[in-house]
Amino acid sequence: MNIEETLTKRFLRYVAIPSQSDDSVKTIPTSEGQTTLARLLAEELKELCLTDISVDEHSVVYATLQGNAEAPVIGFLAHLDTVNVSLSPKISPQIIHYTGGDVVLNREKNIVIKLSEHPELEQFKDEDIIFTDGTSVLGADDKSAIANIMTMLEILHNDPTIRHGTLRIAFVPDEEIGLCGSKVMDLDKFKVDFAYTIDCSGLGQVVYETFNAGTVKIRIKGISAHPMSAKNELVNPMLVAHDLISMFDRGQTPEHTEGREGYWWFSQASADPLYCSLTMLIRDHDKKRYEWRKQFVKDAVDMLRKIHPRAEIDLDIQDVYENIANNVVREDRPVAMIYQALEELGIESVTYAMRGGTDGSQLSARGIVTPNYFSGAFNFHSYAEFLPISSFKNSLDVTLKLIELSVR
């Protein structure tokens, strides 16, 4: 069995199924492609002789591999959806042997990844890398993880002498739009001692800290009037929104923050002469700062109502997910096992406070310690997303090593 070839074939098979999530849809899953992929995976799990295989009404896939050794019950989880960033839903991957310098993804459309903008390419010189054709994301977030888990199961299926405990598998929809799939998981079907997500992150990265995340919806109703008689009558909802946006520090936005710095981000807006709707995302690793940010929004809206007493302003703030570190510490066995696996494999560990969230954020809040480790890809949510086959294989090596460590 050529593992790199098997991983690559699986990955290319999965990315051929468009499965973007859609936050305008209120049912789970939000796209038919996720259901198509879920059913394909269920069939493949049957071929690998797993048990308790099911696909529920939300297209969450559950399966169990019975153990042949005494060990904790470990869960492995990945998400079915890819991000919707207004690029093509159709993914056209290509494997390029990278020899250095810039990478021409699409000569016809003059789409190039410049080494000066993506110096991370340099470490994979003289290696095979999976790229897009520049018109879409690659979908390594998170189909590389699905391929990782399925290849691990194939290896165990083909070699029954490998000792392992019972493993429970889950593939969930709509992670990209608020961890929706992990929120509706039936944990009676995912009874584990602890679990792992494999999501995002370059070679060697370990994640047990994510953002605390909230979404703010603000709806402003102004007063419309014809310009000939608008003086002292018209209330322009867009200008009311402008006054609100100006209350927030531009230095605390995604484009001006990094590391553990939190932010607020006015990410969507729509308006007409009578209404203006805004969506703002709140993010902070520190729980107290996160709560302060929510209060700042409430105070800003209260001030806006005083400035514009004739406007009607509605505010809704929803918590989306928690920081994994609210419920998990580095000394917890599942986290410590990742570092041990990396050390034994000779892979340098990089502890990464993720500026985002994983399904592990939700599962950890629901009582299942669920840290995350790297999938091996880079530049997620971008036309420049790429997956070096060597680090893809390294991610699978970590999966197998974790299983080995669990039975020692």
Residue 215 CA to residue 193 CA, distance in Å, equals: 31
- At residue 338, the pLDDT reads 98
Residue 106 CA to residue 134 CA, distance in Å, equals: 6
CATH of domain 212-321: 3.30.70.360
- What's the CA angle centered on 347, arms 345 and 349, to 5 degrees? 125
Pairing, β 312-321 against β 212-221: antiparallel
164 forms beta bridges with none
- At residue 229, the pLDDT reads 93
pTM, two decimal places:
0.92
Q: Which amino acid is at 340?
A: Q
Give the pair of three-digit tokens for residue 60: 């969450």
CATH superfamily of 3-210+323-406: Zn peptidases (3.40.630.10)
Cβ–Cβ under 8 Å, residues 359 and 114 = no
Pairing, β 61-65 against β 212-221: unpaired
Question: Residue by residue, what is the 3-state secondary structure of the chain?
Answer: CCHHHHHHHHHHHHHCCCCECCCCCCCCCCCHHHHHHHHHHHHHHHHCCCEEEEECCCCCEEEEECCCCCCCCEEEEEECCECCCCCCCCCCCEEEEECCCCEEEECCCCEEECCCCCHHHHHHCCEEEEECCCCCCCCHHHHHHHHHHHHHHHHHHHCCCCCCCCEEEEEECCHHHCCHHHHCCCHHHCCCCEEEEECCCCCCEEEEECCEEEEEEEEEECECCCHHHCCCCCECHHHHHHHHHCCCCHHHCHHHCCCCCCEEEEEEEEECCCEEEEEEEEEECCHHHHHHHHHHHHHHHHHHHHHCCCCEEEEEEEEEECCHHHCCCCCCHHHHHHHHHHHHHCCCCEEEECCCCCHHHHHHHCCCCCCEECCCCECCCCCCCEEEHHHHHHHHHHHHHHHHHHCC
Domain ranges of the chain: 3-210+323-406, 212-321
Residue 263 CA to residue 267 CA, distance in Å, equals: 12
Cβ–Cβ under 8 Å, residues 68 and 164 = yes
282 forms beta bridges with 214, 264
Give the CA radius of gyration of the chain: 23
Residue 248 half-sphere exposure, CB side, CA atoms within 13 Å?
25
Residues 6+ apart with CB under 8 A from 137: 82, 83, 85, 87, 91, 380, 381, 382, 383, 385
List, by residue number, the catalytic residues: 81, 175
- At residue 86, the pLDDT reads 82
- What's the CA angle centered on 316, arms 313 and 317, to 5 degrees? 140
- At residue 151, the pLDDT reads 98
- At residue 179, the pLDDT reads 95
Q: In a structure prediction context, what are the per-residue pLDDT tens digits for the chain, which is 408 residues long?
A: 799 999 999 999 999 999 999 999 999 999 999 999 999 999 999 999 999 999 999 999 999 999 999 999 999 999 999 999 888 899 999 999 999 999 999 999 999 999 999 999 999 999 999 999 999 999 999 999 999 999 999 999 999 999 999 999 999 999 999 999 999 999 999 999 999 999 988 999 999 999 999 999 999 999 999 999 999 999 999 999 999 999 999 999 999 999 999 999 999 999 999 999 999 999 999 999 999 999 999 999 999 999 999 999 999 999 999 999 999 999 999 999 999 999 999 999 999 999 999 999 999 999 999 999 999 999 999 999 999 999 999 999 999 999 999 998
